[in-house]
Structure 1
Amino acid sequence: MSADKLHIAIVASNRFPIKQPFAGGLEAHTWHLAHSLADAGHEVTLFAGPGSDSAPGIACLDVQVLELSPQARADVSMPSDTFMSDHHAYLRLMLDLAASSQYDVVHNHSLHYLPIAMARTLATPVLTTLHTPPTPWIQSAVAACDGVGTRFAAVSRHTASMWNGIVDEIDIVPNGVDVLGWPEGSGGPYLAWSGRFTPEKGPHLAIEAAVRAGYPIKLAGPISDPEYFAREIGPRLNDRVTYVGHLDQRELAALVGGAAAALVTPSWDEPYGLVVAEALACGTPVAAFARGGIPEIVTADCATLVPADDVDALAAAIPRTVALDRKTVRRHSILRCSAETMLDAYLHLYRGMMSAPVTRLHDPVKHLRPAGRRRRPA
Structure 2
Amino acid sequence: MRIAQVAPLTEAVPPKLYGGTERVVHWLTEELVALGHDVTLFASGDSQTSAKLDATWPKALRLDGSVRDPNALHMVMLEGVRQKCDDEEFDILHFHLDYYPFSLFYRQPTPFLTTLHGRLDLPEHQPVFNIFSRVPVISISDSQRRPVPQANWLRTIHHGLPEKLLTPQPCKPGYLAVLGRIAPEKGVDRAIRIATRCSIPLKIAAKVDRSDQEYYDELIRPLIDGNPLVEYIGEIGDSEKSEFLSGAIGLLLPIDWPEPFGLVMIEAMACGTPVIAYNRGSVAEILDDGLTGFIVEDEISAVVAVGRLAGLNRVAIRKQFEARFTARRMALDYLAAYRSLTQAAQPRIKLVSSAE
> Normalization by structure 2: what TM-score?
0.85
In the other structure, the counterpart of 2:272 is: 283
**Unaligned stretches of 5+ residues in structure 1:** 1-5, 66-79, 360-378
Distance in 2 separating the partners of 1:43 and 1:84: 28
- Answer whether contact 1:38 1:44 (CA < 8 A) is retained: yes
In the other structure, the counterpart of 2:169 is: 185
User: Is 1:161 aligned to 2:146, yes or no?
Assistant: yes
Shift of 1:199: 0.9
Distance in 1 separating the partners of 2:246 and 2:186: 21
**Alpha carbons of structure 1 residues 84 and 345: separation in structure 2 relative to 1, 3 Å:** closer
4+ long deviations beyond 6 Å: none
The percentage of aligned residue pairs carrying the same residue is 29
- Answer whether contact 1:94 1:118 (CA < 8 A) is retained: no
Counting only pairs closer than 5 Å after superposition, residues 1-378 of structure 1 correspond to structure 2 as: 6-51=1-46, 53-63=47-57, 82=69, 84-85=71-72, 88-111=75-98, 113-134=99-120, 139-144=126-131, 146-148=132-134, 150-165=135-150, 167-186=151-170, 187-224=172-209, 225-237=212-224, 238-299=227-288, 300-307=290-297, 310-357=298-345
Letter paired with 1:336: R
**Alpha carbons of structure 1 residues 230 and 358: separation in structure 2 relative to 1, 3 Å:** farther
Deviations 1:61-90 (A, max 9, x none): 31499xxxxxxxxxxxxxx95375256335
- Answer whether contact 2:95 2:113 (CA < 8 A) is retained: yes
**Alpha carbons of structure 1 residues 294 and 358: separation in structure 2 relative to 1, 3 Å:** farther
- Answer whether contact 1:285 1:322 (CA < 8 A) is retained: no
Query: Alpha carbon RMSD of aligned pairs, Å?
Result: 2.5
Letter paired with 1:117: S
**Alpha carbons of structure 1 residues 8 and 87: separation in structure 2 relative to 1, 3 Å:** closer
Shift of 1:96: 2.6
* 2:307 match: secondary structure: helix
- Answer whether contact 2:144 2:258 (CA < 8 A) is retained: no
Letter paired with 1:56: S
Letter paired with 1:103: F
In the other structure, the counterpart of 2:354 is: none
Shift of 1:138: 5.6
- Answer whether contact 2:56 2:73 (CA < 8 A) is retained: no
**Alpha carbons of structure 1 residues 21 and 87: separation in structure 2 relative to 1, 3 Å:** closer
Larger deviation: 221-230 or 286-295? 221-230
**Alpha carbons of structure 1 residues 220 and 64: separation in structure 2 relative to 1, 3 Å:** closer
Shift of 1:56: 2.5
